[in-house]
Amino acid sequence: MKSPQHVPVLLEEVLEYLNVRPGGVVVDATLGLAGHSSAIARKLGAKGRLIGFDRDPEALALAKARLDEVKAELGEEMPEVVLEPRAFSEAANVIEPGSLDGLLADFGVSSLQLDEAHRGFSFRHDGPLDMRQDTRSGETAEQVVNQEDEDELANLIYEFGEERRSRRIARAIVRDRPITTTAELAGIVSAAAPSMKGDKIHPATRTFQALRIRVNNELGEIQSLLRSAESLLKPGGRVVLISFHSLEDRLVKDAFREAGRNKVFEVLTKKPVVAGDEEQMRNPRSRSAKMRAAQKV
């Protein structure tokens, strides 16, 4: 099983700020297609340990295939690899406190999820309204869209999508229910709140973001990881987090600021690190990435 190509964002910056050393123990909390982890494995060496978390079974299988390719290349210099088929909010349940040299999380949606129509993450491909990262359990986006009342829909689209026209969109959704596919929903949202002059994104982008965040409890997951980072890292251990929208970045920034104020972490990035012009040209996904890093005191 050959893994698909995947371009990890801010790779050189991640490796620099994680300060990966031979023999270290590093967690990739959002394994995805193992783009970052493949590079980390090469730096850890034979005595190192790499632990990867992903609650998406499809992503986990592809990540394993990619790391097997790295193992074939490195041979005896490959670190120990442990793959955890669970949400990264559960890291504290399976990792020994004070054992980590590095903790990485890239909160962006996997390109695998966006490109597979049957996953229902994107309006670019018509498919069922699913959006679950773990397809084995939990509420789907179709259930949210068809079962929530108008006020609840409007509130979640406003809060999680930062969509100012949320009430108009919620009214249209309720009027046109039942809705079962991504194309149906995108069409309803676009008709209710069409693009305005100067808009650079599809009119359904914020609504899809809001539903995805709700279905996967993404902000709650990030808060759990932020709470456990201090206990999991060794003194001098580093945490590197990559966000892709303001809600995520605000959580990270506020948590780092508080930890810095309490002398728990030293914040290494006074401002978020962003991709350079060359990377943005090569990988458009990197344009919205913001990376922050801190070191445990």
- Provide the 3-class DSSP secondary structure of residue 296: strand
Report the pLDDT value the prediction gives residue 1, as an integer from 0 to 100.
43
pLDDT tier at 108, thresholds 50, 70, 90: confident
Between 73 and 285, whose confidence is greater? Answer: 73
| pLDDT given at position 273 | 97
The rounded mean pLDDT for the chain is 92
Alpha-carbon distance values, 84 to 80, 91, 105, 123, 139 (Å): 13, 9, 14, 30, 22
- The count of C-alpha atoms lying within 13 angstroms of the C-alpha of 194, restricted to the half-sphere facing its C-beta, is 2
The per-residue pLDDT for 34 is: 95
Q: Where are the domains of the chain?
A: 11-112+218-296, 130-216
Report pLDDT digits (tens) over 225-240: 999 999 999 999 999 9
Q: What pLDDT does 201 receive?
A: 86
Q: What is the second-level CATH architecture of the domain 130-216?
A: Orthogonal Bundle (1.10)
Residue 210 CB contacts under 8 Å (≥ 6 apart), including other chains:
156, 157, 158, 159, 160, 161, 163
Q: How would CATH label the architecture of 11-112+218-296?
A: 3-Layer(aba) Sandwich (3.40)
Strand partners, 82: 51
pLDDT band, very low/low/confident/very high, at 111 (cuts 50, 70, 90): low
Given a cut of 50, is residue 3 above it in pLDDT?
Answer: no
* Segment 9-31 mean pLDDT: 97
Which range, of 22-36, 71-85, 100-114, averages the lowest pLDDT?
100-114
pLDDT at 2 over 80: no
- With H, G, I as helix, E, B as strand and everything else as coil, classify residue 145: helix
Residue 31's closest CA among 6, 63, 8?
63
Give kind and range of the element (H or E) at residue 35. Answer: helix 35-44
Verify cis geometry, omega within 30 degrees of 0, for the bond prior to 85.
Answer: no
State the helix-helix crossing angle for 205-216 and 150-161, rounded to 10 degrees. Answer: 100
Q: What would the mean pLDDT of 268-275 be, rounded to a whole number? A: 96
Q: How far, in Å, CA of 254 to CA of 18, rounded?
A: 20
What average pLDDT score do residues 143-154 get? 97
DSSP state for residue 136 in the 8-state scheme? T
Single out the residue of 212, 194, 47 nearest to residue 142, CA to CA. 212
Query: Would you state the pLDDT for residue 4?
Result: 46
Task: Please give the pLDDT value at position 5.
Answer: 53
Residue type, 163: E
- Which residues touch 277 (CB under 8 Å, ≥6 apart)? none
